[in-house]
């Protein structure tokens, strides 16, 4: 069996045929729309401006396929290593693992369900939301996700609820299958007016086997709602990862997104938000750390469609070996979006002669009463700082590790969940050249 567009169309058609008898009409229609859009668009090539620097041929050419329940693999230790205390849903190779999941301690004002269950029980909430911002007609991987819509999670925060602990969604590849495994999770978050919650998405797995995660997250924030979204992508070196978060923000709402891209052979992370009401605020922080031949692609898109909204972006990249990083950030300020306040910054640190980064921050301003700024920088470790540390008896390799971690720590330090911040620090230190930074400063 070979890969290619036809392979994925066949996978989706078989899936839809198997699910047709049990799916309501509205759900069957959505899946069929996803299949039709994938067939129409095909997968992107370098001729597509949005994918100019990212070649998806390594994904398209492989025969990734959905798996059934599969063999039992003990992953509890891996879950405990990555997850935080509190309620969580865990998925293995794209399937819910009841044994590893626990919703004990879930706040009364928050509902968390496997998406498969919610599609049956919460159609009145899901039907108006699914695909509203994550548009299958403009994104082929979103179309593929929609065509395979079944697994994932539904998170609903009741109006006025303030959840004291985060909800966690853990997506693991088991490494047990000899065939390339495709998982296609969809996460839907609906936050009512005046609510506040934190959501943590973790993508990881065991070494061995090849996997492709094609994830879509949709977020709808009501008036004055607050959502802190954290994403930690630390998948094995043989993994491929394409994911997008699509948000819609009502009046005075606030979205804070913190994305960490540390693993995978090829990983693309997209974040987009539309301000649908005045007074909204969006904060996007991201860190991508590449080594070997990794390719890490990051894209942000903020649509200031209404007046008096604020956005802040800070993305940083650390590239070593022959890795390649890409950042493309777009801020659109529409004609009626007066009093917009937006800033966008991308900074990159290259640790080797062969590492490469492409950066393109972009402002499209159609209004005249705005305060907007953007900037990008690519450089190497500061020689004066290295000299300062070495003059105080710190060996060169350790000084380089200290300065590299200091560069990345601005993004890591913005994580307010202390247990999650500690896990990110551990994973980051393991990926930096020469070992753990904690050993350096001890």
| Residues 355, 376: Cα–Cα separation, whole Å | 17
Dig out the tokens for 125 from the structure.
Answer: 């909430």
Over its length of 442 residues, how does the chain's per-residue pLDDT go in tens digits?
A: 356 999 999 999 999 999 999 999 999 999 999 999 999 999 999 889 899 999 999 999 999 999 865 556 678 877 877 878 889 999 999 999 999 999 999 999 999 999 999 999 999 999 999 999 999 999 999 999 999 999 999 999 999 999 999 999 999 998 777 788 999 999 999 999 999 999 999 999 888 778 999 999 999 999 999 999 999 999 998 899 999 999 999 999 999 999 999 999 999 999 999 999 999 999 999 999 999 999 999 999 999 999 999 999 999 999 999 999 999 999 999 999 999 999 999 999 999 999 999 999 999 999 999 999 999 999 999 888 988 888 888 988 889 889 999 999 999 999 999 999 999 999 998 888 755 444 333 3
As a whole number of angstroms, the distance between CA 213 and CA 186 comes to: 11
- Find all residues with CB under 8 Å of 199, minimum gap 6, and list them: 155, 166, 167, 168, 169, 189, 227, 228, 229, 230
Which among 130, 141, 1, 122 has a CA at the least distance from the CA of 61? 1
DSSP letter for 162, please: B
Question: CA distances (Å), 65 to each of 35, 62, 82, 257, 393, in order?
Answer: 15, 9, 26, 30, 54
| C-beta neighbour count of 426 within 10 angstroms | 14
pLDDT given at position 82: 81
CA 323 to chain centre: 19
Question: With contact defined as beta carbons under 8 Å apart, do 87 and 102 qualify?
Answer: yes
Residue 122, SS3? Answer: coil
List, in sequence order, every residue forming a beta bridge with 284; answer none if it has no partner: 257, 313
- Strand-pair partners of 162: 196
* Residue 417 φ/ψ, nearest 5 degrees: -80, 105
Q: Give the C-alpha separation, 369 to 233, whole Å.
A: 38
Measured CA angle at 269 (ends 54, 309), to 5 deg: 120
> Collapsing DSSP states into helix, strand and coil, what is residue 287?
strand
Prediction pTM value: 0.94
- Nearest CA-CA partner of 267 in 308, 235, 222: 235
Task: List C-alpha distances in Å: 234 to 37, 81, 143, 428.
Answer: 30, 12, 25, 10
> What is the pLDDT at residue 436?
45
Helices then strands, each counted (H, E), the chain? 11, 20
Rounded CA separation 259/126 (Å): 25
Two structure tokens written together for 199: 């959501």
The two three-digit tokens of residue 216, written as one number: 């879509």
Q: What is the pLDDT of residue 438?
A: 40
Q: How many CA atoms lie within 13 A of 109 on its CB side?
A: 19
Helix axis angle, 25-41 to 5-19, nearest 10°: 170
Q: What is the CA radius of gyration of the chain?
A: 21
What angle do the packed helices 396-412 and 383-390 form, to 10 degrees? 120
**DSSP symbol at 180:** P
The pLDDT of residue 342: 97
The CA distance from 182 to 145, in Å, is 10
Distances (CA, A) of 83 to 75, 101, 193, 203, 251: 12, 11, 28, 11, 33
């Amino acid at each position: 069996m070979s890969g290619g567009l036809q392979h994925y169309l066949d996978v989706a058609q078989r899936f839809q045929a198997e699910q047709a008898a049990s799916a309501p009409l509205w759900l069957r229609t959505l899946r069929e729309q996803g299949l039709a859009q994938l067939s129409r668009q095909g997968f992107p090539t370098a001729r597509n401006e949005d994918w100019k620097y990212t070649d998806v041929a390594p994904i398209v050419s492989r025969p990734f396929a959905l798996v059934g329940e599969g063999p039992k693999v003990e992953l509890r230790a891996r879950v405990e290593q990555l997850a935080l205390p509190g309620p969580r849903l865990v998925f293995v190779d794209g399937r819910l693992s009841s044994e590893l999941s626990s919703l004990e301690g879930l706040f009364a004002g928050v509902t968390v369900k496997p998406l498969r269950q919610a599609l049956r029980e919460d159609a009145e909430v899901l039907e108006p939301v699914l695909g509203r911002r994550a548009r299958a007609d403009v994104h082929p991987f979103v179309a593929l996700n929609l065509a395979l819509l079944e697994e994932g999670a539904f998170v609903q925060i009741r109006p006025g609820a303030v959840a004291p602990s985060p909800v966690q969604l853990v997506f693991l590849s088991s490494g047990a299958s000899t065939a390339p495994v495709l998982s296609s999770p969809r996460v839907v978050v609906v936050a009512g007016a005046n609510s506040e919650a934190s959501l943590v998405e973790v993508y990881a797995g065991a070494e061995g086997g090849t996997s492709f995660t094609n994830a879509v997250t949709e977020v709808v924030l009501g008036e004055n709602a607050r959502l802190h979204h954290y994403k930690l992508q630390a998948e094995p070196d043989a993994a491929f990862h394409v994911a997008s978060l699509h948000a819609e923000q009502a009046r005075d709402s606030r979205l804070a997104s913190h994305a960490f891209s540390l693993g995978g052979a090829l990983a693309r992370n997209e974040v987009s938000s539309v301000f649908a009401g005045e007074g909204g605020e969006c904060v996007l922080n991201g860190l991508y750390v590449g080594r070997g031949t990794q390719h890490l692609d990051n894209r942000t898109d903020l649509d200031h469609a209404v007046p008096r909204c604020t956005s802040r972006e800070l993305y940083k990249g650390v590239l070593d070996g022959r890795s390649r990083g890409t950042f493309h950030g777009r801020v659109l300020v529409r004609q009626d979006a007066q009093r917009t306040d937006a800033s966008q910054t991308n900074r990159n640190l290259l640790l080797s002669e062969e590492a490469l980064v492409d950066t393109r921050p972009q402002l499209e301003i159609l209004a005249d009463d705005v305060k907007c700024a953007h900037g990008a920088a690519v450089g190497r470790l500061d020689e004066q700082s290295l000299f300062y540390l070495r003059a105080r008896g710190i060996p060169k390799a350790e000084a380089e590790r200290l300065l590299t971690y200091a560069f990345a720590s601005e993004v890591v330090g913005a994580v307010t969940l202390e247990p999650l911040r500690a896990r990110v620090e551990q994973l980051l230190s393991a990926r930096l050249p020469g070992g753990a930074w904690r050993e350096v400063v001890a």
